Structure 1
Amino acid sequence: MIFSQLEQQLGAMTWPLLICSFVTSVILLDRVWRLLLISRLQRHALHQQLALNRPVEESTLQALSGNYRRSLLWQGIYLLINHRRTGKALREEIAGLWLQQQRKQLTHGIKILSLMGAVSPLLGLLGTILGLIQMFQDLSTSIQPVTPALLANGLGIAMYTTAAGLFIALPALIGAHLLTAWVDRIMHTTELEMNHYNLWLNGITLHGESMA
């Protein structure tokens, strides 16, 4: 019932626009859920936990890992602590590679989201052209005087497809930009905190307070 109505309104662009809408919705929901999960950790709580448990024992790591394992920040700090006996330069290189991998994972799908934002209006425009073609075909085969009813079908498809394309494109483009900014913020915070804890592992003052 609903699909038949959509097909009447969107014509040949029904399936392409539905696919764009589905892909956009899935990527937006997946990325938002993923970023919410990894960014919910309160940094100050973790600071206190680590400060109270120095030197860091394996039992402490396991306990903290159970509480914070979904946090990207904790994963980064856990990586540094696991390599605490490695030289500082090598530890920094390991952390840098890990951060690159995490950024790649977090931005997965965002380029496709931008693509949906670019393609959807073009599909809407194509639907507009097809609707106008249909309208002129109806006019060319009609022996009746031109009436609004004769123009309604082709113009309706033209307008509906344009609106549908824009309706899909706006959240896709806005979502892509906001998700990119969100990822940048998470990665900046994680990198900053990992730098602090890399110094902390060498006994250097962290956040203006002695952690020794």
Structure 2
Amino acid sequence: MRALLLRDLRIATRAGGGFGLGLAFFLIVVVLVPFGVGAETATLRLIAPGILWVGALLAALLTLDRLFALDWEDGSLALIATSPAPLEGVALLKALAHWLTTGLPLTLAAPLLGVLLNLAPEAYPWLVASLLVGTPALSVIGTFGAALTVGLRRGGLLLSLLVLPLYVPTLIFGAEAVRRGADGGATALALMGGITLGALALLPFAAAAALRVNLR
């Protein structure tokens, strides 16, 4: 299992593997927003939590179709399915690799990009905390969607349509935690934590079941 995780990390970080693609997209979204809505400090500060969370969500979505596609194309997914390693654990490791190469870098970069949107100083700890709690849910939900669509033509488009509605609760609570801060942000953070724990508990099994169906 450890070797599988290291393999996925190497694939993600090599040239063309997708590492850095999410960060670049995140940066582009944040840089373009002031051009679209104007550079007024009050306006940017008001919309900054939502923009940062939407940017992180879309950046996480950008590389999901790679989770199982490469393994499907070279036949290694069938070998993994017949190995002693449980598919539930494989799905969880895929989600972990995605978070380490996408979710964690987005979390670390978000405070720097918050400066471009004039995010309120007291909101920075809540931004980092919400992304740390919420981005694992994005990776796990995305892994489930990738397992459902593996091997399908134009699976990336279908994956987006399947996953985006499931991302909405995490987006709402994440942006609300940053917006409210000390005045109610803890409640939104706790609700988002519940979503993440629920996704970690249930979706690896659902992803494994989807992989078994697609491999028949």
* TM range, smaller chain: 0.3 to 0.5
Larger of the two Rg values belongs to structure: 1
- Higher RCO, 1 vs 2 (CA within 8 Å, ≥6 residues apart): 1
TM-score, reference length from structure 1: 0.34
